[in-house]
Structure 1
Amino acid sequence: MDKFKGALMVGFLRLFALLPWRAVQAVGAGIGWLMWKLPNRSRDVVRINLSKCFPELDPVALEQLVGRSLMDIGKALTESACAWIWPAQKSIALVREVEGLDVLKAALASGKGVVGITSHLGNWEVLNHFYCSQCKPIIFYRPPKLKAVDDLLRKQRVQLGNRVAASTKEGILSVMKEVRKGGAVGIPADPEPAETAGIFVPFLATQALTGKFVPNMLSGGKAVGVFLHALRLDDGSGYRVIIEAAPEAMYSTDTATAVAAMSKVVEKYVRAYPSQYMWSMKRFKKRPEGEQRWY
C-alpha cells in the first residue's frame, strides 16, 4: 500500500512541475484557501500556533493571518514540488535577489567548518539548491515516511554534487565529522527535538523546545554559523535569499545563551515574514513542566 501511495504522490509532484510558474503559485494558493475555508486539522494547528505566538492580534487580524499563512503553505507545497522535479538550475534561476552573499563567501574562506542554518520559512527547497550552488555541503533532513518520496528527494537534493544526511545517529555523526574537517553543512534550526536534545528558550510570545545541536557545533568558535532563508517576493516572481552571520552569542560555551541567540534570529525573520512560516507544523508539542499541551 505504501508503495502505491508513494508512486501516486510522486506522480502528483511531476504534474505540478509541468505547470507554468504562475499557475504553480495559483494552484498552491487555491489549495491553501480551501484549507482555510474547510474544516481540517492543519487549519486548527495554524490557528493554535498563531494565537499563542501573536497574542496581541485581535480576532479579525488573527484570522486574516491564518488565511494568508495557509495560502503561503499551499504555495510552498506546490513550489517545492517543482524544486523536487526540475533541474536544480531552473529553481536557482528563481532567486532574483541575494543579500549578504559576502557573509557566506567569508565563512567558506575562513578555513573552518561552516554551518548553514535555516528554518521552515519561505522555500527551503529552493534555498537548498542555492546553497549547494555555492559550496558542496551535507544537507541534514528528516526523511518522509513514503520511500518513493524519500528516494526522489535524495536524488533531487544532490544534483549539484553535495550530499544528504538523514536525521539518524549515523547522519548526525556524518554532519559533525564534515564540520570538524572544515566542510559545510546545512541544518534547519526549528524542528522540535527530543527533550534530552533541546532546552526551552523564548520564541515570539512563548517558550519553544529548541535543539542544542547547531549551537554545540559552533561553541567556542569551532565552526562558523551562517543563517540563510529564501523568502517569496511580493510580486510572486521568485525569491530573495537573505544571508546573515550568526550572532556572537551563538558561539558562547553556555548552551542556554547560545540556543536562545539562535532562536532570537529565527524569531526576527518569522516576525518580518509571518505568513511564510510553516505554521502547520506541530512545533510546540512539548511544553514546559506544568503547562497544558496545545494540540
Structure 2
Amino acid sequence: MRTLLILVLLFVPFIAQGSFDRNLFYGISNDLEVTKLQEFLTTEGVYDGPVTGNFFSLTLQGVKNFQAREGISPVAGYFGPLTRTRANEILNVDLTASEQQAILETGAVPVVPEREGNINDVFVSVNTQIGLVLRQIELLQAQIEEIKALQNQVAQQTQVIEQIQQNTTPPPTPEPVVEQAPTPIEPIPVVEPVPEPEPIGTPIVFSNIKSLIVSDWFDISWNVDNPSSISLQRIHYSTNKSLYTYATVYLGASSRMGSIRISRLKVDTTYYFRILAIDKDGNEWFSDINSFRTD
C-alpha cells in the first residue's frame, strides 16, 4: 500500500493555479479540476449551480453556455482542447491584470504560497483518476458490445441476402428438345370393288339355291329360268363377304337345274358364295351372295 501511495505521489499531476490542463466531461465526480471549472463558469456568469466537483447536468449546461457565448462549435458540453484554450486565455488575462495591479500597489508580484498537500487530497486525486479509468473502461466495454451487436446484425442481414439470392436465382434453362416429326404413315389404300357393268340382253335369274354342308365340304344346287342361253357357269366362294378375292369353280352349260360339290374347306368357318352365268353374248349374270358355315 505504501508503494502504491509513493507511485501515486510521483505520477499524479498537480494542477497549476490559473490554467486547465486536461479535458473534462460528463460523469466525472469528486474532482478538483471540475471544482475549479465550476468556479470559473460561475465567475463568467454562465453557471449558477453549486460547486461540488461533480460534472453532471448543471455543469454540462454551463459549459454549453460558455461555448455558445464564445462561438465554439460544436456546442456539446465537452470541456476539450478548444474550450480549455479559450478558458485559459481568459484566466491569463485576468491573472495578468491582477499582477499588474499588485505591482502598482505593492511594487512586487505576489507570490502564491505553496499549497500543503494532505493525504485526503491525495486519496481524492487517486480516486478521481481511478474513476476516470473505470469510466473509460465502461465506455470501451459499451463500444465493444455495440460493435458485437452490429456484427451480429451484419451477419444476419448477410444470411438473409444469401437466402433471398438462392430463392430468386432462376433455374438453369434446359436445352431445347428438338422433336423430330413423326414419319407419316401412308394409309393403306382401300380397294373398292369395281362395279360390274349391267349386262345387256335377257337376264338369267337364279332361284331355289340350296346348300348341304358336311364337315369340310358342301353341295350347292340351284335353278335357272333360261338355260338355253347359258354358255358357261361358275361358283365364286370366299371367307370374305365382299368376295374381293375368291376361288372359282368352272361349270359347263347346264339344264334348268345345276349343282356342284366343293371340298377341302376349313372347319368351323363361314363361307360366302355366288353363282355366275355367262350367256352366249358374253354377258355375266350373278346370283345374290349366300353363306354357309362348316362344322
User: Which structure: larger Rg?
Assistant: 2
Q: Which structure would you say has the larger RCO, counting Cα contacts within 8 Å and 6 or more residues apart? A: 1
What's the TM-score bracket when you normalise by the shorter of the two chains? under 0.3
For normalisation by structure 1, the TM-score amounts to: 0.21
Higher helix proportion (structure 1 or 2): 1
For normalisation by structure 2, the TM-score amounts to: 0.21
